[in-house]
């Protein structure tokens, strides 16, 4: 077997090792390259920034622990921004397996920003039905969520004063890892109840949401860890996403180098029989 | 300077608790002038008894800014329009009359228009969505027509190249004496991709029965499992090998995404099937499944309408049926009039949309270039005007 | 069919009575959704109970599944479904944070490694189309990370253009196709033409 053939059939574990090192080393020794802000992330930031104090901001945490690395930093950055702007944060989830994580995340950021549960934010928890929950919230929030995650009746919570349904929400963002996610919030939420909607999602499904972004159905899109890093840069609180971008940079470059190497060997292998053919004639 | 041709009506095409105020543009309209909208109880006869609920520059709030079509527009596009809705500062009750007027302020001067009365009420039909209804019914009618046409006539469907790959994969499994693994996706039977996957399973099962190759079909949904069990049984019967049919060839693992993936990966590594079929809808687990399958050296055929997973299938599988190729393949195999007719109807629908896009682009360009209004008659019909 | 047509028509009726009808039905949907969870769990229990009773291959794993499920249900009830109480983590919270979260995260993280090995194996310029795919992939991979934009500043703008123009238009086309399919299927289900989702066969 020639060297090229051996390299083309290289053990996958060597590739895994390369990727592992490219992910680990930058996390241990960060470089901190500047991050360029994309228009779609800036749109979300600008809209949030323009909201008056005590506006109602709905954050739907529609992901499970599997998507935590990409969407958790987005949620933290958005919540930090919302709390800094003194918005009334109403949070919930459509994914049952993400409920505990969503509650932990909200509690953690609220504590950090000195916000009080019930007065500045509320976590409604999870309700079965997926898209049916969105429709119900659009009609009457208190029917969809009669109590919050802590069991407290939602009617009478100060942060929900004047909020009867989704029509009273000033801005909603869905951080989605699949279905139900951003698309469901548009189809069953914004299209019917006319609130402004932004989206956050994993890197894989982000390209699929560009049609919604381009047509104005969502006013902005935070895609993957990169989007989270951009948002962290915008709010001036660089955290895990920015740290993760070094690792992502190294990994992307590693994959590109590997792909280029494999193509070099591939073309080399294709050329060899031709050269051998020329040699014998 | 008083607002001319002032009209106050119940807001059309809504659920009530709203009034619409319309008035003609004025030569005094400009950024230095302002309009005020005033509202009060029905009994009010003097402007002083009314409350100002909105104030804005006189060169804003036009009919053209509102989402409306030519068949529902109440006035010319350059007229002013303001919609009073229940909310902060004002509460409108259906069935209760209100007195409304508009005042114009310019410098120190304030001129109030005539007082009008109107009563908000909910409407039974949203005529703004009339175009949506027509288009939906037309497409529905088209699909039913093509289905009935397919029942009476033969519809030509070109052979999908992916089907040759399916046969080749089954042949390879038989040669190697290894089983075939077939997955039907993450969704339940209400999804068209799962229905298509079930139909293709019938063909695969029939070939597997004919060649006496073991078939394994792990499932994420109990109903899909039940349907596929029947399909597999039927396939073995049609192949003339009913005794070879195994009840547990179709088995339920779990509905959870990654638990299912881990289980299937385990099956791939232990049983080392020679052919893996990934048909249906998939999410993040797609690459975990296909890369594990590739590591065992299996030939892999995928078919999915999950466009976000297509890149992973294309890079790791030997052949991929993309989007509607999956539906077309299942229609080709089943030859069912319903499937064939639906496919034909969808194709015609897509052709119509393509034509509308082309014609619409030309008309919109003409409209912008010449300032003509008539292209809007066509373009409005395809707008979302809810 | 009547219910299907009624709720299809509901979309075009803005009257509060229509909205009330929708609210009632979606509440029922939520109730049924809750029951579906119970059904799912019961079905899983039954499947694995059969496996254990018959001592089929891998029945030990079924026992592990039983232990895991019953244990999680027990701690869940004990902690009243709460992951933390007054800042202190409950047993249920421990199971969630130290078992479920890492396990799910691990499965998803494997994707990063698999993408690399899949890319190495298959991103070869075998044909013109494959070469175009390869170049586009490299540009977008470079443009989406700070290091790539630092090395090739143009890659960021080009990848934005690829995403916003090429990608958006193609996705829109796919979305239109899939949506037409969904509308057609919905009509067929409403009018009873399509019954395979019920497990029904040919007529």
| Structural domain spans, chain C | 1-78, 83-122, 123-193
Domain ranges of chain B: 7-118, 127-153+341-382, 162-335
What DSSP state is assigned to residue B380? G
Q: Which helix (H) or strand (E) covers residue B301, if one does?
A: strand B299-304
CB contact under 8 A, A258 and C119: yes
Sequence-ordered alpha helix ranges (H) in chain C: 2-10, 16-54, 59-78, 91-95, 101-122, 128-143, 146-151, 154-161, 168-190
Residues from chain C that touch A129, judged by Cβ atoms under 8 A, are 26, 29-30, 33-34
Cα separation, C154 vs C146, whole angstroms: 12
Residue A139, chain C, CB below 8 Å: the answer is: yes
Tell me, yes or no, if B386 comes closer than 8 A to chain A by beta carbon.
yes
Residues 6+ apart with CB under 8 A from B288: B258, B261, B265, C107, C110, C111, C114
> Do B7-118 and B162-335 come out as alike in CATH topology?
no
Indicate which of A29, A95, A96, A139 best probes the interface with C, i.e. most C CBs within 10 Å of its own CB: A139
CATH for B7-118 is: 2.60.40.10
Asked if the B162-335 domain carries CATH number 3.40.50.720, the reply is: yes
Closest Cβ opposite residue A208 in set B257, B284, B307: B307
More confident residue, B142 or B190: B142
A205: contact with B, CB 8 A cutoff: yes
Min CA distance, C25 vs chain A (Å)? 9
B59 inside 8 A of chain A by CB:
no
Interface predicted TM-score (ipTM) of this complex, two decimals: 0.80
Is there a contact between C116 and A18 if contact means CB atoms under 8 Å apart? yes
- What's the rounded Cα separation, in Å, for the pair B357 and A235? 41
B98-106 and B116-118 as β-strands: parallel, antiparallel, unpaired?
antiparallel
Cα four-point dihedral sign B134, B139, B143, B146: positive
Q: What is d(CA B102, CA B6) in angstroms, rounded to the nearest whole number?
A: 8
Tens of pLDDT along chain A (281 residues) come to: 788 888 888 898 999 999 999 999 998 988 888 899 999 999 999 999 999 999 999 999 999 888 999 999 999 999 999 999 999 999 999 998 899 899 999 999 999 999 999 999 999 999 988 888 999 999 899 989 999 998 899 999 999 999 999 999 999 999 999 889 999 999 999 988 889 999 999 998 999 899 999 999 999 999 999 999 999 999 999 988 999 999 999 999 999 999 999 999 888 888 866 555 544 44
- Whether residue B188 is predicted with pLDDT greater than 90 in this model: the reply is no
In whole angstroms, give the CA distance from residue B245 to residue B232.
Answer: 8
Contact A206, C167 (CB under 8 A): no
- Residues 157-216 of chain B whose Cβ lies under 8 A from any Cβ of chain C: 188-190, 192, 195, 198
Answer yes or no: do B227 and C111 touch at CB < 8 A.
no
In this prediction the pTM is 0.84
List, for residues B337-361, the tens digit of each pLDDT value. Answer: 888 899 899 999 999 999 999 999 9
Tokens of C106: 């691990």
> Do A143 and C146 count as a contact with CB atoms less than 8 A apart?
no
Closest CA to A126 of A154, A101, A139, A145: A145
Q: Is the Cβ–Cβ distance between A213 and A221 less than 8 Å?
A: yes
């Amino acid at each position: 077997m020639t060297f090229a053939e051996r390299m083309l059939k290289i053990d996958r574990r060597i590739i895994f090792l390369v990727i592992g090192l490219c992910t680990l080393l930058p996390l241990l020794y960060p470089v901190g390259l500047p991050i360029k802000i994309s228009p779609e992330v800036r749109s979300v930031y600008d809209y949030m920034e323009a909201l008056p104090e005590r506006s109602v901001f709905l954050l739907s945490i529609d992901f499970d622990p599997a998507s935590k690395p990409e969407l958790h930093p987005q949620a933290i950055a958005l919540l930090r921004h919302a709390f800094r702007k003194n918005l009334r944060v109403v949070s919930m989830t459509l994914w049952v397996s993400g409920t505990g994580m969503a509650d932990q995340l909200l509690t953690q950021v609220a504590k950090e920003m000195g916000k009080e549960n019930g007065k500045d934010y509320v976590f409604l928890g999870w309700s079965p039905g997926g898209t049916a929950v969105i429709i119900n919230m659009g009609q009457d929030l208190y029917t969809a969520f009669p109590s919050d995650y802590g069991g407290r009746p939602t009617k009478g919570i100060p942060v929900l004063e004047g909020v009867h349904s989704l029509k009273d929400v000033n801005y909603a963002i869905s951080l989605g890892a699949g279905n139900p996610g951003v698309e469901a919030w548009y189809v069953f939420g914004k299209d019917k109840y006319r609130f402004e909607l932004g989206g956050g999602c994993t890197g894989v499904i982000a390209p699929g949401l560009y049609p919604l972004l381009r047509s104005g159905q969502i006013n902005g899109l935070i895609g993957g860890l990169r989007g989270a890093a951009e948002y962290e840069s915008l709010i001036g609180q660089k955290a895990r996403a920015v740290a993760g971008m070094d690792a992502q940079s190294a990994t992307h470059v590693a994959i590109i180098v590997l792909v280029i190497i494999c193509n070099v060997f591939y073309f080399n292998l294709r050329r060899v029989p031709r050269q051998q053919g020329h040699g014998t004639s | 300077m008083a607002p001319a041709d002032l009209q106050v009506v119940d807001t059309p095409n809504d659920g009530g608790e709203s009034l619409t105020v319309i008035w003609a543009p004025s030569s005094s309209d400009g950024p230095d002038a302002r309009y005020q909208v005033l509202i009060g109880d029905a009994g009010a006869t003097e402007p002083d008894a009314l409350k100002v609920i909105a104030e804005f520059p006189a060169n804003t709030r036009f009919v053209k800014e509102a989402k409306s079509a030519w068949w529902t527009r109440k006035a010319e596009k350059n007229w002013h329009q303001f919609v009073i809705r229940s909310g902060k500062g004002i509460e409108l009750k259906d069935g209760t009359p209100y007195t409304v007027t508009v005042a114009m302020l310019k410098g120190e001067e304030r001129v109030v228009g005539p007082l009008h009365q109107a009563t908000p009420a909910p409407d039974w039909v949203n005529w703004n969505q009339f175009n949506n209804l027509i288009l939906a019914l037309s497409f529905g009618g088209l699909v039913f027509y093509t289905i009935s046409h397919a029942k009476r006539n033969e519809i030509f469907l070109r052979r999908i190249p992916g089907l040759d790959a399916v046969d080749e994969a089954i042949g390879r499994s038989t040669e190697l004496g290894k089983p075939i693994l077939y997955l039907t996706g993450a969704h339940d039977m209400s999804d068209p991709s799962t229905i298509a996957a079930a139909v293709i399973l019938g063909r695969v099962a029939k070939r597997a029965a004919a060649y006496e190759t073991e078939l394994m079909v792990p499932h994420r949904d109990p109903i899909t499992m039940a349907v596929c069990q029947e399909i597999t049984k039927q396939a073995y019967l049609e192949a003339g090998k009913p005794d070879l049919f195994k009840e547990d060839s179709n088995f339920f693992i779990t509905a959870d995404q990654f638990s299912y993936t881990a289980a299937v990966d385990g099956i791939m590594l232990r049983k080392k099937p020679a052919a893996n079929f990934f048909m249906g809808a998939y999410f993040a687990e797609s690459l975990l499944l296909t890369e594990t399958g590739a590591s065992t050296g299996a030939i892999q055929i995928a078919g999915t309408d999950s466009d976000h997973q297509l890149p992973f299938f294309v890079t790791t599988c030997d052949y991929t049926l993309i989007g509607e190729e999956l539906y077309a393949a299942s229609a080709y195999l089943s030859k069912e009039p319903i499937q064939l007719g639906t496919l034909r109807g969808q194709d015609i629908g897509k052709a119509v949309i393509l034509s509308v896009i082309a014609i619409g682009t030309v008309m919109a360009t003409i409209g912008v270039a010449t300032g003509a209004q008539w292209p809007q008659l066509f373009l409005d019909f395809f707008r979302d005007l809810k | 069919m009547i219910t299907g047509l009624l709720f299809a028509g509901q979309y075009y009726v803005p009257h509060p009575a229509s909205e009330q009808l929708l609210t009632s039905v979606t509440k029922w949907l939520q109730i049924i959704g809750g029951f579906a969870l119970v059904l799912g769990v019961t079905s899983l229990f039954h499947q694995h109970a059969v496996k254990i009773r018959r001592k089929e291959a891998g029945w030990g794993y079924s026992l592990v599944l039983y232990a895991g499920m019953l244990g999680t249900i027990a701690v869940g009830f004990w902690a009243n479904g709460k992951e933390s109480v007054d800042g202190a983590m409950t047993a249920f919270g421990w199971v969630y944070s130290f078992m479920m979260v890492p396990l799910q995260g691990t499965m998803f993280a494997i994707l990063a490694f698999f993408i690399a090995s899949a890319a190495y194996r298959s991103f070869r310029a075998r044909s013109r189309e494959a070469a175009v795919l390869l170049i586009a992939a490299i540009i977008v991979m470079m443009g989406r990370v700070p290091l790539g934009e630092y090395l090739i500043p143009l890659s960021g703008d080009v990848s934005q253009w690829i995403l916003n123009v090429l990608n958006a238009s193609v996705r829109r086309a796919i979305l239109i196709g899939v949506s037409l399919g969904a509308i057609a299927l919905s009509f067929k289900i409403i009018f009873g033409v399509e019954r395979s989702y019920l497990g029904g066969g040919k007529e």
